[in-house]
Amino acid sequence: MQWELVWLSLVLEGIRRVCSLRHAVYWNSSNPRFLRDDYSVRVDINDYLDIYCPHYESNIPSERTESFTLYMVNREGYEGCYETPGAFKRWECNNPYAPFGPIRFSEKIQRFTPFSLGFEFQPGQDYYYISAPAIGSVGDCLKLLVSVCCPPTTMKSRTEVPRSQPRGGGGGSQEDATRSRGNSSCYRDPQIWLHIVIGLTLLVILHQ
């Protein structure tokens, strides 16, 4: 019985690790959330922050498109919306006519990362993102506050779905964005089923 409980705990831990929420942010000046100057997203460890770059139809003149670089900065850089010394360059949105829709960059909110370009987050901390328009690009400096939720003793936060689309379309319907945001990715992740099958198999073997 003791070993069965151990394996069950391991299975549940595996399920917890692959169950995560995805927070979609359409990063362009047409997103009304950016106009309020207080756009914030609250996330939990193991969630994902999905940044969708601006996207345009081919008939839109290039001088009307937005291109920019996203940085992670300190609070001073966030409040002033400028790149500070030591700012961490995250992504470049420089392909507004991408053939298969808006380019998406994903940031996994994790405490430890094996990758040199990854970032490590801590519960209860705030993180600041800004974008600097490329030379010759339209658009203003945009900024986002990401708050990593507190210890797991509190209720899991819910984040409002952005009410805008990538410019020019091609990013799916808003209904799709809402549905994607509201559901946990664990139901679509094959890892969850692998953990369940392995765990149940081991429990049956140990019980015999």
Q: For residue 95, with 0-12 CB atoms within 10 Å meaning exposed, 13-18 middle and 19 or more buried, which class applies?
A: middle
- Per-residue pLDDT, 73: 93
Query: Splitting the chain (208 residues) into consecutive groups of 10 residues, what average pLDDT does each group show?
Result: 56 58 93 87 94 93 89 92 87 92 93 76 92 70 90 48 39 34 48 61 66
- Per-residue pLDDT, 150: 76
- Per-residue pLDDT, 93: 92
Contacts of 183 (CB under 8 A, 6+ apart): none
The per-residue DSSP string of 120-189 comes to ---TT-EEEEEEEEPTT-----EEEEEEE---TTSPPP--PPP----TTS-S--HHHHHHHHHS-GGGT-
- Per-residue pLDDT, 71: 93
- Per-residue pLDDT, 5: 54
CA atoms within a 13 Å half-sphere pointing along the CA-CB vector of 75: 3
pTM of the shown model: 0.65
Which token pair is 115? Answer: 């990758």
Domain spans of the chain, in order of start: 1-19+184-208, 22-172
Rounded Cα distance, 161 and 54, in Å: 17
Q: Is 194 helix (H, G, I), strand (E, B) or coil?
A: helix
Rounded Cα distance, 182 and 142, in Å: 25
Domain 22-172: give its CATH superfamily: Cupredoxins -  blue copper proteins (2.60.40.420)
- Per-residue pLDDT, 15: 56
- Per-residue pLDDT, 102: 94
The secondary structure of residue 85, as a DSSP letter, is T
